[in-house]
């Protein structure tokens, strides 16, 4: 499916589809998959992401019930990947920028009302200070939340914390990767990349996303929370991470490393792989890289489901059963994964 062809999106023609395959293709394009992916691949990715969202909502609802609350909050979602520092930092940056835009918009609205009323007593310094103050994103497990009373300079400390989130290592690393990726792009390619980099399952599809994810059935939240924004951000990141891992699996397959997927590869795929690996001095010319297939996505998801060693318990010689539960798609740095991420 070509993400650059808006007419080829069956999302608008068939309202029963859960999410738009074109949106998945756009997020895969940002992750580095510039080839036309098949409908089977995009459907498989959407199915995996749907399972991840249902798992997150179920866990968030359980956490809210433990507190005695009927509705879950954004903190219940972030708590599930609180140990994933890069993802939390990126989410803090995302929420901070959203709060900044809202603050600036409110300040502009107040200035417009003041200009319409011709009030000469408006304090311009207070308005400028309100815009300069960066809203901080507080989480219940932050150090400041352990104490009932806050020091007098807590506002300055919160502003400094929010500023650190905007210039965190994860944000700077993302900017560096984006600059490296777009350095050799043409004008048209960069325009396409700039358009697709904001693709999300929740953008202009809030009602459909709520029905697809099960919000209101599995769990529910307050209307004013940023739950949909957080879910849209996390699902977009999961699609990119899964695509990058699938491309790494495809690269290993091209180097002669046999990949065993859940479904056996067909003879056509085997012949294409042998044609791709035919290199060397007397080998044929390498053609254009093929698009990521469904088998690559399956193997990538299996690899991402492996529990890190630091989270494993030594159960050798014991009778304790191993709990095999669904793991959230982790975020790894480019150094650890060996591929470019977004």
Query: Which pLDDT tens digit goes with each residue over 305-321?
Result: 876 666 566 666 666 66
Task: For residue range 250-295, list pLDDT tens digits in order.
Answer: 988 876 554 544 433 443 444 454 444 444 444 444 456 788 899 9
Full-prediction pTM beyond 0.75?
no
Mean pLDDT of the region 46-58: 92
C-alpha 143: how far from chain center:
26
Query: In this structure, what are the phi and psi dihedrals at residue 328, rounded to the nearest 5 degrees?
Result: -70, 145
Provide the pLDDT for residue 308.
64
Provide the pLDDT for residue 134.
64
The span from the CA of 53 to the CA of 234, in Å, is 9
Task: For residue range 83-139, list pLDDT tens digits in order.
Answer: 888 888 888 888 888 888 887 876 666 666 555 555 544 444 444 444 456 667 778
Mean pLDDT of the region 324-336: 59
Helix (H) or strand (E) holding 165: helix 154-166
**Other beta carbons within 10 Å of 12:** 11
- Tokens 């999410």 locate to 19
The span from the CA of 190 to the CA of 38, in Å, is 24
- Choose between 175 and 332: higher pLDDT: 175
CB under 8 Å to 285, separation ≥6 — which residues?
none
Provide the pLDDT for residue 261.
46
**Other beta carbons within 10 Å of 150:** 12
């Amino acid at each position: 499916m070509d993400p650059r062809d808006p007419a080829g999106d069956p999302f608008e023609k068939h309202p029963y589809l859960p999410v738009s395959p074109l949106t998945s293709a756009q997020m895969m394009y940002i992750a580095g998959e510039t080839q036309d992916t098949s409908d089977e691949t995009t459907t498989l990715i959407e199915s995996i992401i749907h399972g991840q969202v249902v798992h997150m909502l179920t866990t968030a609802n359980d956490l809210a019930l433990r507190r005695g609350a009927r509705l879950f909050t954004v903190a219940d979602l972030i708590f599930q990947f609180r140990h994933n520092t890069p993802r939390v930092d990126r989410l803090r940056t995302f929420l901070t920028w959203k709060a900044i835009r809202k603050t600036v918009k409110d300040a502009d609205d107040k200035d417009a009302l003041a200009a319409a009323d011709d009030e000469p007593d408006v304090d311009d310094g207070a308005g400028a200070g309100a815009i300069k103050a960066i809203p901080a994103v507080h989480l219940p497990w932050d150090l400041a939340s352990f104490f009932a009373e806050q020091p007098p300079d807590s506002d300055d400390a919160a502003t400094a914390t929010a500023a650190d989130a905007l210039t965190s290592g994860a944000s700077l690393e993302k900017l560096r990767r984006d600059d490296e990726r777009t350095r050799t792009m043409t004008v048209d390619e960069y325009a396409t990349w700039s358009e697709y980099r904001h693709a999300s399952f929740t953008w202009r599809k809030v009602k459909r996303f709520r029905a697809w994810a099960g919000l209101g059935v599995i769990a529910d939240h307050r209307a004013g929370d940023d739950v949909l924004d957080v879910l849209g951000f996390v699902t977009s990141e999961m699609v990119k991470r899964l695509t990058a891992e699938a491309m790494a699996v495809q690269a290993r397959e091209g180097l002669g490393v046999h990949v065993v997927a859940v479904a056996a590869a067909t003879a056509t795929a085997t012949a294409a792989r042998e044609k791709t690996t035919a290199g060397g001095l007397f080998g044929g010319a390498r053609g254009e890289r093929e698009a990521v297939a469904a088998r690559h996505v399956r193997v990538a998801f299996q690899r991402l489901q492996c529990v890190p060693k630091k989270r494993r318990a030594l159960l050798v010689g014991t009778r304790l059963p191993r709990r095999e539960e669904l793991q959230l798609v982790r975020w790894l740095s480019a150094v650890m994964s060996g591929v470019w991420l977004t």
